[in-house]
Chain A
Amino acid sequence: MAASQKEFNQQLKKYYSFYTGGFVIFVVLLAIGEKMGMPNKWIGYCFLVFTILLYAGIGIMSRTLEVAEYYVAGRRVPAFFNGMATGADWMSAASFIGMAGTLYLSGFDGLAFIMGWTGGYVLVALLLAPYLRKFGQFTIPDFLGARYGGNIVRSLGVIAAIIASFTYVVAQIYGVGLITSRFTGLEFGIGVFVGLAGILVCSFLGGMKAVTWTQVAQYVILIIAYMIPVVWLSVKHTGIPLPQLVYGTVLEKVTEREKVLTNDPGEKAVRQIFADRAKAADEKIKALPASYQVEKDAVAKKLEDLKAASAPKGEIDAAEKALKDFPASPEAAKAKWTADKAGAAGRTAPPKPHATPYPGKDEAARNNAKWNFIGIVFCMMFGTAALPHILMRYYTTPSVHEARVSVFWSLFFIFLLYFTAPALAVLAKYDVYTLIVGSKFADLPAWVNAWRTVDPGLLNITDINKDGIVQLAEIVIGGDLIVLATPEIAGLPYVISGLVAAGGLAAALSTADGLLLTIANALSHDLYYKMINPNASPGMRITVSKILLLGVAVIAAYVTSLKPGNILFLVGAAFSIAASAFFPALVMGIFWKRASKIGAIAGIVAGLGTCLYYMVHTYPVFIQWFGTTPIQKWFGLEPISAGMFGVPIGLVTIFVVSLVTPAPDKEVQELVDHVRYPNLVGDIDTKGT
């Protein structure tokens, strides 16, 4: 086996080197095509079709009917490649497209995600990966079931795995639909299903084996796509192609510029206009219902006046539209004016200082920002160390040692993107603050006008104070714009925009694949094979898993098409849920022999229960859905950080309840020793078949 594993490794390196070279040539050919007049739409289609065919090709080549290959890729994925696959599995549409935008909008406070989503791997490496690899079965509920015994703990594991993964997969499919529709002009709903086909061709035929090898391919595409525009932008602003090392100087310039913009009279005037608008909206709301008719008459009168004065057609059209869109009832007016008030009030503040930790007007606000920063870091880290689709990846390496090395490569490959994102945010901000703010509306760069018309939600610039000059307070930027528009900001050809879209698609597809497989495996392996029909033949088990995969994918796509809520919240919620449910039971199961079955059951229920209780009572959308009564936020923590309560409560519950219930029997103690040592003489064997 030793020689063949080495040969296998060599072969993989050869294949993927050829593949990377081939992909680069493909991009170069498209670039030449663009020069020769190939339309942009075609370039978008080429990227979409080529990459999905590529993933399908890998999926078909890796088709398998063997259980160990289907569930854990035959346990022969070398550490280096497992690292790349984990990187792609890990980095979702939210990381690829949303991360830099979040950093752009929230400055230092956004770095909580950067720290949380990398530091969590320390917990994976030190507390989980090597032990799970030694245990060596197929799923995370497998471990819980074996360690604590009985089907109750396993079932709880299945339920938690499904809640966490499903929440997360919906966010991914949403990203797939968004990218497909934006770059090909297809409708969002159709985009979702095209993307779904892309997801299924990888995982359906070859399970984990196919998903692993496509994820490696997807990592290569996404990292190339992320780096090229940032490097280019860095050359543009600093002359040095290493953005991560040199953006400190750009950050200083941004900070100086913020100070200027805070006191600039034009900026102040615009902010004042928004403050006035917020106040006016507030007065209208207070005067309801009487104000409804007064306002409606005013709008109608304005239209009459304009017509009488034979004003330009544009103004009359606008007034007609205003009358047509006027809320139909006082209740609708209240909702609209409240939204108007919030929108205007949100734009009255001076620019948020990018480099300053926890900016706030007083001590209390700063403290609150600090607690929420720590809350997000905590939940993202412990969630990382508990999300089943990531932990599962460490079942696929050939040995315990390789599992440890593999976590190193995983974090290394993730780190490459995450330490670039803050640089991109600062470079893009510098561009906006110096080249756009202060320029004349007539001379805006072409990319600004293009994005303004394509999607006002992503970029909206309006001359509020009518001075013909762009003020920062007149710009509204949606976070996703930063990554999507960087190629154009940097002045790169359209082919790079297509590449970025392909990268975003790769990120979303790879994560969705891993998640769908986790859900299907939890159902087919843990529920069907382990609890319902332990005599099922290997062929039957794989067939059941495939049927479930299709079913879950269709349900997830359906839920996605309903467009549920805020994507970043969904992702964060998945982390908090996974952390609260899994982390305490997994880690205590390995490090504390005394942890008992009842203790684990109580701990999972208490942790998950606390987390869900907090979310359902503090997140406005959930309060509306479930009709719950809102509660005061504990320590002012946002609902996304519910895991900060769930994890400690889970740990304490397991500890206390275990101490008052009987100790686990000798077999369990042996199992714990078994997972603690990579190799023992006369060892038991827990490897799954």
Chain B
Amino acid sequence: MQLTQTHIDYWQKNLRLTAVLLAIWFVATFVLAWYAIPLAEFKMFGWPFSFYMAAQGSLIIYVLIIGYYAIAMRKSDIEHGVHEGEED
């Protein structure tokens, strides 16, 4: 089994995407929790901002991150010829 350049590119791309999405996840989780007291001053749809994020906003971001990753990786699989046959 020999990895070609396109395989290496595929993996690098995957790592970059994973890193970016994890950074978003980190901000939506830990940065938010760290600054929850000052952020509670702002209002969002009637909720204090940090309460809204912890109860709904961050959750929606998580769902979107996972959905985006599945779509983007499927595209990348096909581009780099590592996608699975339909019969699998």
Contacts and interface: CB of A to CB of B under 8 A. Distances in A.
Interface of A: 1-2, 108, 111-112, 114-115, 118-119, 121-123, 125-127, 130, 244-245, 248-249, 251-252, 355-358, 366, 370, 373-374, 377-378, 381, 398-401, 404-405, 407-408, 411-412, 415, 418-419, 422, 670, 673-674, 676-684
B51 A251 contact: yes
A355 B53 CA distance: 12
B11 to A, nearest CB: 6
Main secondary structure of the interface of A (DSSP, over half): helix
Contacts of A122: 21-22, 25, 62, 65-66
A677 B10 contact: yes
A357 to B, nearest CB: 4
A408 B52 contact: no
Contacts of B73: 130, 401, 404
B75 to A, nearest CB: 11
A399 B69 contact: no
23 contacts: A111-B54, A114-B55, A114-B59, A115-B58, A115-B59, A118-B58, A119-B59, A121-B62, A122-B21, A122-B22, A125-B65, A126-B18, A126-B69, A130-B73, A357-B51, A370-B34, A370-B36, A381-B29, A418-B59, A419-B56, A678-B83, A680-B1, A684-B1
B30 interface: yes
Nearest to B22: A126
B25 to A, nearest CB: 5
Interface string B1-18: 111000100110010001
Given A125-B69, A683-B1, A366 B37 contact: yes
Given A422-B56, A682-B1, 19 more contacts: A2-B86, A108-B54, A115-B33, A118-B58, A119-B59, A125-B65, A126-B69, A245-B45, A355-B48, A358-B37, A370-B33, A377-B30, A400-B84, A401-B70, A411-B66, A418-B59, A673-B1, A682-B2, A683-B1
A383 B66 CA distance: 18
Contact of A357 (B50, B63, B82): B50
Contact of A415 (B33, B63, B84): B63
Contacts of A681: 1
A154 B50 CA distance: 42
B67 to A, nearest CB: 5
A144 B22 CA distance: 24
A398 B54 contact: no
Contact of A679 (B25, B34, B37, B85): B85
Given A119-B58, A251-B51, A408 B82 contact: no
Given A355-B47, A677-B82, A114 B1 contact: no
A207 B69 CA distance: 31
B36 A108 contact: yes
Given A108-B51, A415-B63, A419-B55, A248 B46 contact: yes
Contacts of B37: 357-358, 366, 370
Contacts of A411: 62-63, 66
A111 to B, nearest CB: 4
Nearest to A423: B55
B18 A127 contact: yes
Contact of A405 (B14, B70, B84): B70
A122 B55 CA distance: 17
A118 B1 CA distance: 38
B1 A115 contact: no
A381 B33 CA distance: 14
B83 to A, nearest CB: 6
A493 B40 CA distance: 39
A111 B1 contact: no
Contacts of A251: 46-47, 51
Nearest to A406: B70
Given A408-B66, A679-B85, A248 B29 contact: no
Nearest to A6: B86
A202 to B, nearest CB: 28
Contacts of A130: 73
Nearest to B21: A126
Nearest to A251: B47
Contacts of B52: 248
A415 B66 CA distance: 13
B46 A252 contact: yes
Contacts of B33: 112, 115, 370, 373-374, 377
